[in-house]
Chain A
Amino acid sequence: MAQASRDDVSTSLDTNGYGAKRHHVMTLANSLRSQPDAQGHFGEFGGRYVAETLMPLVLALDAEYRAAKQDPAFAAELAGLMTHYVGRPSPLYYAERLTETLRATAPAGMGPKIYFKREELNHTGAHKINNCIGQILLAIRMGKTRIIAETGAGQHGVATATVAARFGLPCTIFMGAKDVERQQPNVFRMKLLGAEVTPVTSGAQTLKDAMNEALRDWVANVHDTFYIIGTAAGPHPYPELVRDFQSVIGTEAKAQILEAEGRLPDLLVASVGGGSNAIGLFHPFLDDEGVEMLGIEAAGKGMHTAEHAASLSGGRPGVLHGNRTYLLQDEDGQISEAHSISAGLDYPGIGPEHSWLHEIGRVRYEGVTDMEALDAFQLCCRTEGIIPALECAHAIAGLAHRVHEYRADQIVILNLSGRGDKDIFTVADALGAKI
């Protein structure tokens, strides 16, 4: 029953309905889509590791989310905003020249057909808005009058500031002081949208410190404040509800590929920082055994160095920011600094559902370095006329490593989760260009 209601939200735009109905039948038996349990555990991961002050609010959010999922009015409002404000459904696009270019690197008969799920065409230029719309509707249902969020590069901050403006709620964005320096255009965007941007000077002054500061603000303002977490992580029910709001990506992609090709894809590829764009694409396909999945982590300057952000490949399970998951940490459990050229992947943890999917082997996770991502960034620009976010460039590079394993008649869907306009200064700097 919970599964059916979850589909009600995540497939509200699925006019085909294929995925939802098919899975409803399948999942009654034994589904990979029925996680987490009522306590928010995905196997040994997830949970609610928060201070007592926050527990009553986290429980109230859970109750409100269950109620919202049963409420047709909530689904209708969400669907209307997704269509008319976000611009959904996003296209599923056959990336023909990228396909041909990568195919040329593979042995004869190999090199799959590559489709992009065009999340970068959403309002605000990334998948982040899907989640922000869902969460602000929950905030309004709960009677909260103030919004807070953390941001790294500023994409989630911009998406949150956007929905806060749309619904007329005051909004404070916590951003590491170093990131404020590095991401001035997004800081200005957030201010234009009416948000207050609070630079965080504690710790390493980056994303994890921004999240610490958001939690400190929340604990002091629980009575009126809603925390819009930007990825599929944090205390239960955040990993579940962010995943559900992002599952519109996979649900649409499934209907679109069936229409385009008459069959399911052979492989799904997405970049993974916290992992919301990846889980959004993967989740509706988890029970489709023939669909392989590849999550690409940021290997930074290489997995042989300490400068990477690959929590699954280079970390081990621990507890941070409300959930148990894979973390970059030392033997004492002190959290390590992450590094990636992509600010959106620059976080020492990962959503708990990915940790679980990694442990059970359903999804394969691999690393891609800064340099490989930069090459793929340029490749995508020149072959497809699409400037991808550096996050997605990681996914493209990860796929490039694997094209020789898939036949030319096989199909890949890659989540192009964001556009790269935000990254041009970083890329110019890395390439030694002055702009």
Chain B
Amino acid sequence: MTRLATTFARTASENRAALVAFVTAGDPSPAHTPAILDAIVAGGADVIELGMPFTDPMADGPAIQAANLRALAAGLRTADVLAIATGFRQRHPDVPLVLMGYANPMLSRGPEWFAQAAAKAGVDGVICVDIPAEEDAALGPALRAAGIDPVRLATPTTDTARLPAVLAGASGFLYYVSVAGITGMQQAATGSIEEAVARLKAGTDLPVAVGFGVRTPEQAAAVARVADGVVVGSAIVDALAKAGGDPEAGRALVAGLAAAVREARMGVAA
């Protein structure tokens, strides 16, 4: 089993959702990121999503946009992202690591180069925001050949007719973007999330993780009651930015989120 499959199986067996924590690589500088990742794992994150900075992050709200630009201004290169992943894998042999970013940096040296370099660095999955199912040929085959899960996004606009196309070729987990919008916006109503997760799970055996707009322990708990995973991004990026990249700020926030996720289904019938 892959690290992602093992992790989601374990959290399911513990009757809880997995906490997926997002951090932008290289923010505020490449040297900061390894300690931040360690702190977030120590705080209780089950899966790490490492953002690959891009000059034009058009699906991101202000928090992650700014983090992207800070990282690039600090000199972050693709080689640094891969080195951060390699170091993380050595220190955390069992924690899944997923790269999230945009097509152009991933395709710049060719999809095979990227997929093989990411695999060598110990990356488990890749989320590419601007490669929808229709353009899978641009990156998907190279990732699969390298043993990396291409994680697909589903959104409130993904209707039932379109869902099979989105699910075809998806692996690792399915990332449900709970609001039609950019990262860091308002959370969707819990009821609509529950309904959407049920609809997605009717079409796939993959775990379904829900993100966009999840900021507080209360919001995380609400999502954790109905989904297999909870993704928190902008809130962590914000907390780290306010603390100048101090890992402790990330650890403290993630610890609160992790506790909420672990307790979410207590007293709720499994």
- The residues of A with any CB-CB pair to B shorter than 8 Å are 39, 47-57, 59, 202-203, 208-209, 211-212, 215-216, 219-220, 222-223, 318-322, 324, 327, 329, 331-335
Is the beta-carbon distance between A220 and B103 smaller than 8 angstroms? no
Is the beta-carbon distance between A51 and B129 smaller than 8 angstroms? yes
CB 8 Å contact bits of B164-190 with A (1 = contact, 0 = none)? 001000000000010111100100000
16 contacts between A and B (CB under 8 A): A39-B134, A52-B133, A55-B133, A202-B65, A203-B55, A211-B58, A212-B57, A219-B182, A222-B157, A319-B104, A329-B104, A329-B108, A332-B78, A333-B108, A334-B104, A335-B54
Residues of the B chain whose Cβ atoms lie less than 8 Å from the Cβ of A202: 62, 65
16 additional A-B pairs beyond A52-B177, A216-B181, A334-B72, beta carbons within 8 Å, are: A47-B134, A51-B58, A51-B59, A51-B130, A52-B154, A53-B181, A59-B162, A215-B59, A216-B59, A219-B181, A220-B180, A222-B180, A319-B103, A331-B108, A333-B54, A335-B55
B132 at the interface (CB under 8 A from A): yes
Is the beta-carbon distance between B106 and A333 smaller than 8 angstroms? yes
Residues of the B chain whose Cβ atoms lie less than 8 Å from the Cβ of A203: 55-56, 65, 69
Query: Which residue, B62, B129, B158, B181, has most C-beta atoms of chain A within 10 A?
Result: B181
- Contact partner of A56 (CB less than 8 A), chosen from B135, B138, B157, is B157
State the Cβ distance, A17 to closest chain B Cβ, in Å.
Answer: 36
Residues of the A chain whose Cβ atoms lie less than 8 Å from the Cβ of B106: 333
Smallest Cβ-Cβ distance to B103: which chain A residue:
A319
Bound-state Cα–Cα, A343 to B51, Å? 32
- Contact partner of B108 (CB less than 8 A), chosen from A209, A220, A318, is A318
- The residues of B with any CB-CB pair to A shorter than 8 Å are 54-59, 61-62, 65, 69, 72, 77-78, 102-109, 129-135, 138, 152-159, 162, 166, 177, 179-182, 185
Residues of the B chain whose Cβ atoms lie less than 8 Å from the Cβ of A324: 138
- Contact partner of B54 (CB less than 8 A), chosen from A47, A327, A334, is A334
Bound-state Cα–Cα, A59 to B166, Å? 14
Residues of the A chain whose Cβ atoms lie less than 8 Å from the Cβ of B56: 203, 208-209, 212, 320-321, 335
Bound-state Cα–Cα, A47 to B154, Å? 20
Query: Which residue, B62, B106, B108, B153, has most C-beta atoms of chain A within 10 A?
Result: B108
Bound-state Cα–Cα, A48 to B133, Å? 10
Residues of the A chain whose Cβ atoms lie less than 8 Å from the Cβ of B57: 212
- Contact partner of A319 (CB less than 8 A), chosen from B65, B138, B157, is B138
Residues of the A chain whose Cβ atoms lie less than 8 Å from the Cβ of B162: 55-56, 59
Query: Which residue, A47, A59, A318, A332, has most C-beta atoms of chain B within 10 A?
Result: A332
Is the beta-carbon distance between A49 and B131 smaller than 8 angstroms? yes
A203-B69, A220-B181, A332-B78 given; A49·B55 CB < 8 A: no
Is the beta-carbon distance between A55 and B54 smaller than 8 angstroms? no
Judged by DSSP, the binding face of A is mixed
A51-B130, A208-B56 given; A220·B182 CB < 8 A: yes
Bound-state Cα–Cα, A46 to B134, Å? 12
A216-B58, A219-B180, A332-B77 given; A48·B104 CB < 8 A: no
State the Cβ distance, A317 to closest chain B Cβ, in Å.
Answer: 9
Is the beta-carbon distance between A48 and B135 smaller than 8 angstroms? yes
Smallest Cβ-Cβ distance to A202: which chain B residue:
B65
Smallest Cβ-Cβ distance to B80: which chain A residue:
A332
- Contact partner of B182 (CB less than 8 A), chosen from A47, A59, A216, is A216
Bound-state Cα–Cα, A208 to B61, Å? 16
State the Cβ distance, A205 to closest chain B Cβ, in Å.
Answer: 12
Bound-state Cα–Cα, A385 to B57, Å? 45
Is the beta-carbon distance between A333 and B105 smaller than 8 angstroms? yes
Is the beta-carbon distance between B177 and A53 smaller than 8 angstroms? yes
Is the beta-carbon distance between A332 and B108 smaller than 8 angstroms? yes
Smallest Cβ-Cβ distance to B158: which chain A residue:
A52
- Contact partner of B104 (CB less than 8 A), chosen from A212, A223, A333, is A333
Query: Which residue, A49, A52, A211, has most C-beta atoms of chain B within 10 A?
Result: A52
State the Cβ distance, A326 to closest chain B Cβ, in Å.
Answer: 12
Residues of the B chain whose Cβ atoms lie less than 8 Å from the Cβ of A49: 103, 130-132, 135, 138
Residues of the A chain whose Cβ atoms lie less than 8 Å from the Cβ of B129: 51
Query: Which residue, A53, A59, A203, A219, has most C-beta atoms of chain B within 10 A?
Result: A53
Smallest Cβ-Cβ distance to A322: which chain B residue:
B130
Residues of the B chain whose Cβ atoms lie less than 8 Å from the Cβ of A48: 132, 134-135
Is the beta-carbon distance between A56 and B103 smaller than 8 angstroms? no
State the Cβ distance, B224 to closest chain A Cβ, in Å.
Answer: 23
Residues of the B chain whose Cβ atoms lie less than 8 Å from the Cβ of A219: 59, 180-182
Residues of the B chain whose Cβ atoms lie less than 8 Å from the Cβ of A51: 58-59, 129-130, 132, 153, 155
A51-B59, A219-B182 given; A333·B132 CB < 8 A: no
A48-B135, A56-B157, A319-B138 given; A212·B108 CB < 8 A: no
